[in-house]
A = this chain, B = another copy of it.
Amino acid sequence: MPDTPHKGIQEVASALGVTPRTLRFYEDNGLISPQRVGSTRVYSRRDVGRMQLILRGKKLGFTIREIREFLDLYDTDPGHREQMEHLIVRVQERLDSLSRQKAAIEETIEELDQIVHEANAQLRQLDS
């Protein structure tokens, strides 16, 4: 009858490449809520899937707070219309932010290149 293979915190953690501490941390922050057997956490397949979504969001640079917003909407929004709209807004914001970051990095790279050239010129002058 145990159709869905429930797992312990260690298994889930190493399967996802995180530490148990991280799973507890996300639970404290309301991102997941595995069952308990006594006080021990037991994770279902859905819990693991949810964690994968969370980790994807993290990789894309969303904060835990933002990820929780997505998940909350996902849970309370049948059809997921509102969720999708919210998602699009947030993703656009993030895209804008990243574009600005990228531009700033490009500027900085140019300046640093300049500095390297100047410093090398200095050195050659000391050599002569």
Give residues in A with beta carbon < 8 Å to B. Answer: 59-61, 79-81, 84-85, 87-88, 91-92, 94-95, 98-99, 101-102, 105-106, 108-109, 111-113, 115-116, 119-120, 122-123, 126
Contacts and interface: CB of A to CB of B under 8 A. Distances in A.
In terms of DSSP, what is the predominant structure of the interface of chain A?
A: helix
A78 to B, nearest CB: 11
B91 A98 contact: no
A98 B109 contact: yes
Contacts of A115: 60, 87, 91
Contact of A88 (B80, B88, B120): B120
Question: 9 smallest A-B Cβ distances: which pairs?
Answer: A84-B119, A88-B119, A102-B105, A84-B122, A98-B105, A91-B112, A95-B112, A87-B119, A84-B123
Given A116-B92, A119-B84, A60 B108 contact: yes
